[in-house]
Chain A
Amino acid sequence: MKTLTLPLSDEEISALSAGDCVLLSGTVYTARDAAHKRIFALLDADMPLPFPLKDAFLYYTGPCPAPEGNAAGSCGPTTSARMEPYAPRLLDLGLRGMIGKGEMSEEVRKALIRRGGVYFAAIGGAGALYANTVKKSELVAFSDLLSEAVYRFEVEGFPAVVAIDSRGQSIYKR
């Protein structure tokens, strides 16, 4: 099992192949449906984003509220397919990869090849286990969106599988 620290270098990304099981550490930004809508509204209005996209990793999740003493509540991945309309443009703007669950479209696959990005699948339904991997959580933007707000998570030992690698190889056979 590979252990990786985000952000990832070009070399680290090219060494990843679809199907590799990894443990991730470092910074991810949470964003799902509603946050993506807001981010796109900002981009369309030529306004600055609340966090730097360059080399960032997005985690598609909407966490439960954190119980006392925990940095985060249960926070497994949500279905990535719903973010397909957004991912290619964000990758073109510097995003390095996404973490979610389930297959993503041909357009996303092409964007990953074009930008040398990677898509990781976290294990859907393992919310409590992922809560344990979050060491620090900070609200970044859109607090009115509650669980759909953008949070900066510092994670440690976050298990994932390389779902689409930078050469466009996918673990999902259709």
Chain B
Amino acid sequence: MRTVDSEEIEECIYRLARRAGTRLTEACETALCAAREKETGAARFALDLLVENAEIAAQKRLPVCQDTGTACVFIELGQEVCISGMPLAEAVNRGVRRAYAEGNFRKSLCDPLTRINTGDNTPAALHVELAQGDRVKIAFLPKGAGSENMSRLYMLTPADGREGVVRAVTETVRLAGSRPCPPVVVGVGIGGTFDSCALLAKKALTRELGSAHPRADVAELERELLERANGLGIGAQGFGGETTALAVLCEVAPTHIASLPVAVNMQCHCVRCEKEIV
């Protein structure tokens, strides 16, 4: 057994949150730079400003986007690790609380019914998965709601098949239109159950933009979905153009013989995801 102090986890979450809030991933910046070369007019104007914005944010350590999001935290916890001190969730929330206060990040969480703000952006949306080994892998994904609101879950049937998956994803991107801050990144969960399918879609968003799925048929599906999305012509900010999506990332899991769940988690162009291994 390896012992990891919960304060180490807190520090790690703090670092990841501060970094994530103030910078785009390198792959995202590269994708935005490539996209702007293809555009003219208002779409070009928008993409130029987004590239400039990323530079300003990094330089001045300002949040890239004011929606510093729900703190989505994915932890792969090696089962040979013993966490000492405070409970894991508390360590995570303490890291989030400090990062959002000290980073001048917006506190965006509230009670769903009273709408009263929790005041410190906690609780984090924490997902812990047990894994082999004695390491703790942490991914921090601040998730904005403009795009989150445009996400959808479909309970398709086996008859719908792969074609049904393509229709569902394309329809979600089309219906979202200009609202989720395109060019978007589309996280897709295929299979599992009602609940696990949505989680797969969110987890897909932690993958690097431009990375292909290791399964050849899934990678091919990702390519087709990206082509379909870009064929919609929504373009940057909905101003029209070639690039409606920067990437489509799919994750699959076995499902019931009667089911074909498809979850589509929309992510704006502001991809902020930081990872570390403790």
On A, residues with C-beta under 8 Å from B are 19, 21, 34, 61-67, 70, 73-76, 78-79, 81, 101-103, 121, 123-129, 131-132, 146-147, 159, 161, 171-174
Contacts and interface: CB of A to CB of B under 8 A. Distances in A.
A73 B237 contact: no
Given A101-B178, A124-B181, A172-B177, A73 B50 contact: no
Given A34-B115, A73-B104, A127 B63 contact: yes
A126 B104 contact: no
B207 interface: no
A163 to B, nearest CB: 8
B270 interface: yes
Interface centre among A21, A127, A147, A161, by most chain B C-beta atoms within 10 angstroms, is: A127
Contacts of B146: 78-79, 101-102, 124
Contact of A127 (B64, B238, B239): B64
Contacts of A76: 65-67
Nearest to A69: B60
Interface residues of B, number: 40
Given A102-B179, A161-B42, A172 B64 contact: no
B137 interface: no
B140 interface: no
6 contacts: A34-B115, A64-B63, A102-B237, A125-B50, A127-B67, A171-B42
A105 B66 CA distance: 25
Query: Majority SS of interface residues in chain B?
Result: loop
B66 A64 contact: yes
Contact of A78 (B41, B52, B53, B67): B67
Contacts of A78: 67, 146
Given A79-B146, A128-B64, 5 more contacts: A65-B106, A74-B63, A121-B239, A125-B270, A146-B117
B194 to A, nearest CB: 26
Given A64-B68, A79-B146, A171-B239, A128 B62 contact: yes
The 10 A-B residue pairs with the shortest CB-CB distance in the complex, in nearest-first order = A128-B57, A124-B181, A126-B53, A129-B53, A128-B62, A102-B179, A74-B63, A102-B178, A127-B66, A74-B66
Contacts of B180: 79
Contact of A73 (B41, B45, B63, B181): B63
B165 interface: no
Nearest to B22: A128
Interface string B21-57: 0000000000000000000011001100110110011
B80 to A, nearest CB: 40
A1 to B, nearest CB: 8
Nearest to A126: B53
Interface in B59-82: 60, 62-68
B268 interface: yes
A73 B178 contact: no
